[in-house]
Amino acid sequence: MDNTLIISDMHMPYHHPDAMAFIKANKDWYGLEKAKCTGDVVDLHTSSFHLIEYGCLSPKEEYQAAYKGIQQLSEMYPELTVVLGNHDILTYRKAKLAGISEDHIKSYNDVYGVNWKWVDKDYFKVDKYNNCLLTHTMGANTQSNARNHSHNSIQGHHHSVFNISYFADTEVLRWSMSAGCLIDPKQPAFNYAQGATLKRPIIGMGAIIDNEPRLLRMQLKKNGRWDNSV
């Protein structure tokens, strides 16, 4: 398959301040002309079923800022494939809860002004021997995913999990990737992830280069900003 960037959960507009530049730098360095996304493109914090944190944007501000980010990403990848994440579908869940017919709801492309492919899952060919399933989430244990599925696999969702595991037995060798995330951990929208665990998000993304899975970690300085290395 063509070399492909795997963009991890961005949670726009609460994405890392260097996420777009990091994506562009890796696109150029590795020649990643195609891309797929693990979902949670948007955070939709104000549509959350949980309490809204102090210091977050209003619904209108959040939408406008996310729209701007999505436009930037679309300039780099006008034909992105996105597997829908639990955050992407929050407004649909709220509409369903309110008994609103889906006929009254705009498509993701209309909402965000892009021409992307939004799907529940993406099953694609890696090489003549192997296929790969991209979904927003499977289990948090990447080794179990490699062991349990009959194909290679890629997921997002687990922001603190950033690894590739391989499983082999007599007849097969499979890999599974967990691609971390591209969020800004300092944003109050992520306060829910603090306190209960010492795990921190790992800022990075994935790629398939020469038919092999790769992890692209964002090297951070002490202040949490990218050091511009690829």
Q: Which helix (H) or strand (E) holds 204?
A: strand 204-209
* Segment 110 to 169, residues that bind Fe ion, using CB under 5 A: none
Helix (H, G, I), strand (E, B) or coil at 135: strand
Classify 130 in phi/psi space as left (phi over 0), alpha (psi -120 to 50) or beta: beta
Q: Which is nearer to Fe ion, 9 or 18 (CB)?
A: 9
**Please, which residue, 18 or 40, has the CB nearer to Fe ion?**
40
Coil, strand or helix at 2 = coil
Among 5, 6, 7, 9, binds Fe ion (CB under 5 A): 9
CA 168 – CA 129 distance, rounded (Å): 14
Considering only CA atoms, which of 125, 124, 107 is closest in space to residue 116? 107
Residue 44 or 207 having the CB closest to Fe ion: 44
Token representation of residue 167: 């499983």
> For Fe ion, which stretch binds (CB under 5 A), given 7-15, 17-25, 76-84, 215-223?
7-15
CB of 123 to Fe ion, least distance (A): 21
Pattern of binders to Fe ion over 17-56, x per CB under 5 A? Answer: -----------------------x----------------
88 binds Fe ion (CB under 5 A): no
Q: Which is nearer to Fe ion, 84 or 167 (CB)?
A: 84
Residues in the chain: 230
Residue 154's H or E segment, with its range, is strand 152-155
Residue 155, C-beta contacts closer than 8 angstroms, at least 6 positions apart: 38, 134, 135, 136, 137, 138, 145, 176, 177, 178, 179
Binding residue count for Fe ion, defined by CB under 5 A: 2
* Shortest CB 173 distance to Fe ion, Å: 29
Instruction: State the nearest-atom distance from the C-beta of 41 to Fe ion, in Å.
Output: 10
Minimum CB–partner distance for residue 11 and Fe ion (Å): 6
Which of 15/174 has CB closer to Fe ion?
15
Contact positions vs Fe ion (CB under 5 A): 9, 40
